[in-house]
């Protein structure tokens, strides 16, 4: 799909012209007003569409009118949602060239428009034997060129992440993630199992013991001249989570290929970072492994020693992500970066608390957390701060080790956050629990079923704003 910037889209020859209508206001197209509004009483509620053939009276074969809802309630998120629906409608009628003429929008829509048409164009059909070749080749829009081009790159990174998280676990193995990382053209180190053992990563390695897949610890680095800041991004990389010996019910395993969505996000960010060239040094870190119940699997009651020397009693082998992140956070802390941000499909408790509407965020620095929440809001994502009170640590106490890997079922997302905090030393840190927003079993707002690319837009915008 090519997005072309022109000055007057209404007079552009194309298959479809898409115009907008706010409730209680007319569109800019006379023919659309006559038929859609006056004759068929199209109201323009958010996301509603009306298709009008032009019968040769216009330079376009058809007009699609998209409802923008009440003008006083309209915002960038609603614009993105509406544009996705309009674009998908154009795709469904096999339009190849589409022009958008948007009127009455009182903010620069260049970025969110670009995200929308790229999201609408996305599909994961790699494993379909018969592929439907419905797509728009060319989109005309009146927008800001440089904002559109930057947004295209961010949207491409989002698609990269969605593709990777949609892949079955038989493809997206730890070795495959390592191979992908090496192909990104960045300074990259892949640590083997033996090297991780020498570094003392007893928590991470324990999780991978029950699988025939070799664990891989991945460190990618992007830098520039005189970086303003040094930031480590840590992504949870469980490429399949069976629950280990505390095995999950079969129905709960169906989407566990998505348990590496944090890692997919980090890889997506790093895939485009050289082109976007933020003025910061960025480290992408992934502890990748499978959590399987093989004959060598770690067991409830085992005592593990993390990279920083802290000992952990295994209370439940299905609380594995925090164990891999523990060693990854220790490693990131040793890099002496200014900030560490981790993303993980970490707890069902976060999904119970926030549903599929927001990711949970917590951290040891209120300014960092607030900045990430604001950046998420401006990029079209939602983060909601959860408490990180030290009282949550009480349920993690162990009689025979420094801590257990699980605590009370109450406040489970914050308890997991407190656990992770024990492995971050003297560095600003934020933890983003994307359990509820990384993978949708049904279409969700502008996003379809499957992987959502959670975190990509927010992290890239955050890096670019430093």
Are residue 139 and residue 158 in the same domain, yes or no?
no
Phi, psi of 29 (to 5 degrees): -95, 120
pLDDT at 97: 97
Buried b (16+ CB within 10 A) or exposed e, 414-452: bbbbbbbbbbbeebbbbbbbbbbbbbbeeeebbbbebbb
Domain match, 104 and 181 both: no
Residue 266 lies in a domain: yes
Environment class of 144 (CB within 10 Å of its CB; exposed 0-12, middle 13-18, buried 19+): middle
**Residue at which a domain ends, from 143, 173, 191:** 143
DSSP character string of 65-122 = EEEEE-GGG--HHHHHHHHHHHHHHHHHTT-SEEEEE--S--S--HHHHHHHHHHHH-
Residue 453 reports pLDDT greater than 80: yes
Domain CATH for 45 = 3.40.220.10
- Residue 356, pLDDT score: 96
Are 133 and 157 members of one domain? no
Q: For this structure, is 425 an active site residue?
A: no
Q: 246-285, pLDDT tens digit by residue?
A: 999 999 999 999 999 999 999 999 999 999 999 999 999 9
Domain that holds residue 81: 2-143
Closest by Cα among 300, 303, 301 to 311 = 303
Confidence grade of residue 16 (pLDDT, cut at 50, 70, 90): very high
> H or E stretch including 326?
helix 321-334
Report residue 444's pLDDT band, with 50, 70 and 90 as the boundaries: confident
CATH code where residue 180 lies: 3.40.630.10
Same domain? 200 vs 290: yes
Number of separate domains in the chain: 2
Q: Which residues of 159-178 are buried (b: 16+ CB within 10 A; e: fewer)?
A: bbbbbbbbbebeebbbebbb
Picking from 143, 178, 197, the residue at the C-terminal end of a domain is 143
Q: What percent of the chain has pLDDT over 70?
A: 100
Residue 409 scores a pLDDT above 90 = no
Question: pLDDT at position 26, please?
Answer: 87
**pLDDT class of 29 with cuts at 50, 70, 90:** confident
Q: How far apart are CA 403 and CA 394, in angstroms?
A: 9
Apex CA 335: angle with CA 307 and CA 298, to 5°?
A: 25
C-alpha dihedral sign at 406, 408, 411, 412: positive
Are 52 and 189 in a shared domain? no
Whether 257 and 171 share a structural domain: yes
User: Residue 430 has what pLDDT?
Assistant: 98
Please check whether residues 350 and 237 belong to one and the same domain: yes
Q: Which of 96, 134, 248, 382 is catalytic?
A: 248
Which of 94, 103, 104 shows the shortest CA–CA distance to 141? 103
Instruction: pLDDT band for 443, please (50, 70, 90 cuts).
Output: confident
Shared domain for 86 and 126, answered yes or no, is: yes
Task: Answer yes or no: 209 catalytic.
Answer: no
Strands 216-222 and 187-191: antiparallel
Average pLDDT over residues 74-96: 97
Same domain, residue pair 88 and 209? no
Mean pLDDT computed over 14-22? 96
The answer, yes or no, to whether residue 189 has pLDDT greater than 90, is yes
Q: Are residues 74 and 167 in the same domain?
A: no
Tell whether 148 is covered by a domain: no
Same-domain pairing of 280 and 364: yes
pLDDT > 80? residue 56: no
- Which of 118, 143, 168 is the endpoint of a domain? 143
Instruction: Say whether pLDDT at 301 is over 80.
Output: yes
pLDDT digits (tens, 9 = 90+) for 357-386: 999 999 999 999 999 999 999 999 999 999
In this predicted structure, what is the pLDDT of residue 57?
74
């Amino acid at each position: 799909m090519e997005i072309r910037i022109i000055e007057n889209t209404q007079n552009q020859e194309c298959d479809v012209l898409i115009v907008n209508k706010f409730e209680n206001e007319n569109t800019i197209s006379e023919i659309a007003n006559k038929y859609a509004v006056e004759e068929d009483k199209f109201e323009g509620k958010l996301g509603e569409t009306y298709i009008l053939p032009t019968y040769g009276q216009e330079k376009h074969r058809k007009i699609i009118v998209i409802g923008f809802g009440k003008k006083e309630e309209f915002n960038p998120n609603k614009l993105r949602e509406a544009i996705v629906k309009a674009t998908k409608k154009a795709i469904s009628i096999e339009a190849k060239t589409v022009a958008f003429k948007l009127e009455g929008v009182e903010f620069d829509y260049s970025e969110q428009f670009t995200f929308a048409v790229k999201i609408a164009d996305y599909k994961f059909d790699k494993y379909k034997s018969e592929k439907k070749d419905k797509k728009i080749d060319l989109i005309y829009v009146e927008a800001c060129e440089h904002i559109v081009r930057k947004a295209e790159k961010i949207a491409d990174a989002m698609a990269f992440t969605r593709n990777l998280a949609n892949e079955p676990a038989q493809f997206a193995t730890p070795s495959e993630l390592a191979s992908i990382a090496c192909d990104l053209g960045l300074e990259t180190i892949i640590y083997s199992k033996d090297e991780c053992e020498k570094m003392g990563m007893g928590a991470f390695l324990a999780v991978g013991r029950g699988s025939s897949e070799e664990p891989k610890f991945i460190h990618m680095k992007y830098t520039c001249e005189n970086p303003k800041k040094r930031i480590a991004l840590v992504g949870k990389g469980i490429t399949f989570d069976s629950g280990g010996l505390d095995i999950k019910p079969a129905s709960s395993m169906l989407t566990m290929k998505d348990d590496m969505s944090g890692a997919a996000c980090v890889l997506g960010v790093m895939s485009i970072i050289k082109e976007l060239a933020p003025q910061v040094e960025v480290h992408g870190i992934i502890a990748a492994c499978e959590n399987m119940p093989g004959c060598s699997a770690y067991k409830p009651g085992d005592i593990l020693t993390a990279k920083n020397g802290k000992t952990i009693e295994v209370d439940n082998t299905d609380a594995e992500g925090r164990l891999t992140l523990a060693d990854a956070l220790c490693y990131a802390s040793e890099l002496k970066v200014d900030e560490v941000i981790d993303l993980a499909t970490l707890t069902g408790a976060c999904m119970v608390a926030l549903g599929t509407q927001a990711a949970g965020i917590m951290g040891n620095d209120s300014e960092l957390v607030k900045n990430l929440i604001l950046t998420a809001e401006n990029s079209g994502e939602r983060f909601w701060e959860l408490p990180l009170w030290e009282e949550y640590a009480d349920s993690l106490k162990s009689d025979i080790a420094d801590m257990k890997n699980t605590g009370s079922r109450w406040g489970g997302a914050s308890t997991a956050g407190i656990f992770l905090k024990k492995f971050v030393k003297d560095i600003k840190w934020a933890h983003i629990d994307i359990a509820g927003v990384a993978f949708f079993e049904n279409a969700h707002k502008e996003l379809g079923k499957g992987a959502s690319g959670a975190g990509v837009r927010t992290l890239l915008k955050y890096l670019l704003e430093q």
